[in-house]
Amino acid sequence: MHDTLPDTGLQLRSLVTDDGYLKLILKSSPIPEPGDDEVVVRIEATPINPSDQATLIAPADVSTGKTTGSGADTVYTAKLRPGLESRVKPRIGKPLAAGNEGAGTVVKAGASAAAQALLGKTVAVMDGALYCQYRKVNVMQCLPLNEGTSARDGASCFVNPLTALGMVETMRREGFKALIHTAAASNLGQMLNRVCQKDGIELINIVRKPEQVELLKSQGAKYICNSSDDSFMSDLTRAIEETGAYLAFDATGGGELGSRILTCMEKAALKDVELPGPYGSITFKQLYIYGSLDLSPTIVHRNFGFSWGINAWLLTPFIAKVGPERAGELRQRVADELHSTFASHYSDEVSLLDVLQADVVAEYSQQATGKKYLINPSL
């Protein structure tokens, strides 16, 4: 198997320059040799998730994007978005890797039994630099896929599935009984809807377009609130009253949506309180911000009492918190339900070179519902 491998492979990098531009470039590097507990994976499928875009393209004004060169010398260049200079300053001059998850075939393996057992197998990988043709990783970063599961099917079996399960696990650990989720028509949102249906958990889905309401209805969602409707606040309050959902996960981050959710929680909590005190209800209300679809400042109007919390939530710290045993159980559930609960669907499959094309960048950077890109570096 070693004899059939090329000497080098391409890696995608995102670079911020000191003259105010973001560039996507390709770097050719020797295919590495694995250590005892390491393997080299030929990456055959890796999705573009919102978490990947934060590094890859989010700081760029894609309306200014241009592509030059060809082959391995292809370069995409765009101006930085106004107001982000201080945020990206630590990145200047440092080509950053991207790609948090993917799947492919193990083509080299270290000397350990665990590494040798993966040789030739199709595995899913969680890393941070998988927008490449070959990647060396520790065996602990690999999830062997069940027989018959393709790299395409296994490419998204970490970030979205474990995030959905992590939200439900957080709910249980913190004593809540139902959930609220924003940007609920996303791939992750649809997945969380399936998890909650399977596990018998009430879920309030918040979207912003009528077609997103219809999409979730077609998938059996019971509670769907459109934040663009005039009746949104009353609709959400009523849904919270019915479900007792005082825990929310917000993908937008910026703006007033999180504050509006907490306000509705407080209204629901006070429904049967005849004379609320000066500090509001005693019902604890928790908002977790786990995304930044809206890059504007987070605005909080403190009209929901004093029993509340706003925190950040990220998958990696959650996995560390629950420990390796529980994390392993969650990963196994993902593997067992990869073709049902945790199935991912892609609108487009592109090569590494395609990711640098200005028209393609303009498409995948929109993060639109129903548009999910899969990179196949072997193309």
**Residue 331 covered by a domain:** no
**Residue 36 covered by a domain:** yes
Count of other CB atoms within 10 angstroms of residue 276 = 13
Residues 126 and 195 in one domain: no
> Mean pLDDT across the stretch 52-77?
96
Q: pTM for the complete prediction? A: 0.87
Q: Which residues contact 12 (CB under 8 A, 6 or more apart)?
A: 24, 25, 26, 27, 97, 98, 99, 131, 132, 352, 355, 356
Residues 59 and 132 in one domain: yes
Torsion from C-alpha of 149, 152, 157, 161, nearest 10 degrees = -110
**Residue 324 covered by a domain:** no
Residues 68 and 184 in one domain: no
Residues 199 and 214 in one domain: yes
**Residue 334 covered by a domain:** no
Residue 361's CATH number: 3.90.180.10
Percent of the chain residues topping a pLDDT of 90: 89
Q: What is the mean pLDDT of the chain?
A: 95
Domain of residue 100: give its range. Answer: 2-156+344-375
285-339 pLDDT, tens digit per residue, is 999 999 999 989 999 999 999 999 999 999 999 999 999 999 999 999 998 899 9
- Last residue within a domain, chosen from 269, 300, 317: 317
Residue 261's CATH number: 3.40.50.720
**Residue 322 covered by a domain:** no
- Alpha carbons within 13 angstroms on the beta-carbon side of residue 147 total 0
Residues 163 and 294 in one domain: yes
> Mean pLDDT across the stretch 83-93?
91
**pLDDT at residue 1 in the model:** 47
Residues 67 and 195 in one domain: no
Residues 299 and 166 in one domain: yes
179-203 pLDDT, tens digit per residue, is 999 999 999 999 999 999 999 999 9
Residues 21 and 166 in one domain: no
Residues 165 and 142 in one domain: no
**Residue 338 covered by a domain:** no
Residues 149 and 164 in one domain: no
Residues 114 and 206 in one domain: no
Q: Domain total for the chain?
A: 2
Residues 208 and 269 in one domain: yes
**Residue 130 covered by a domain:** yes
Residue 375 has pLDDT above 50, yes or no: yes
**DSSP one-letter code for 306:** S
Contact 182, 188 (CB under 8 A): no
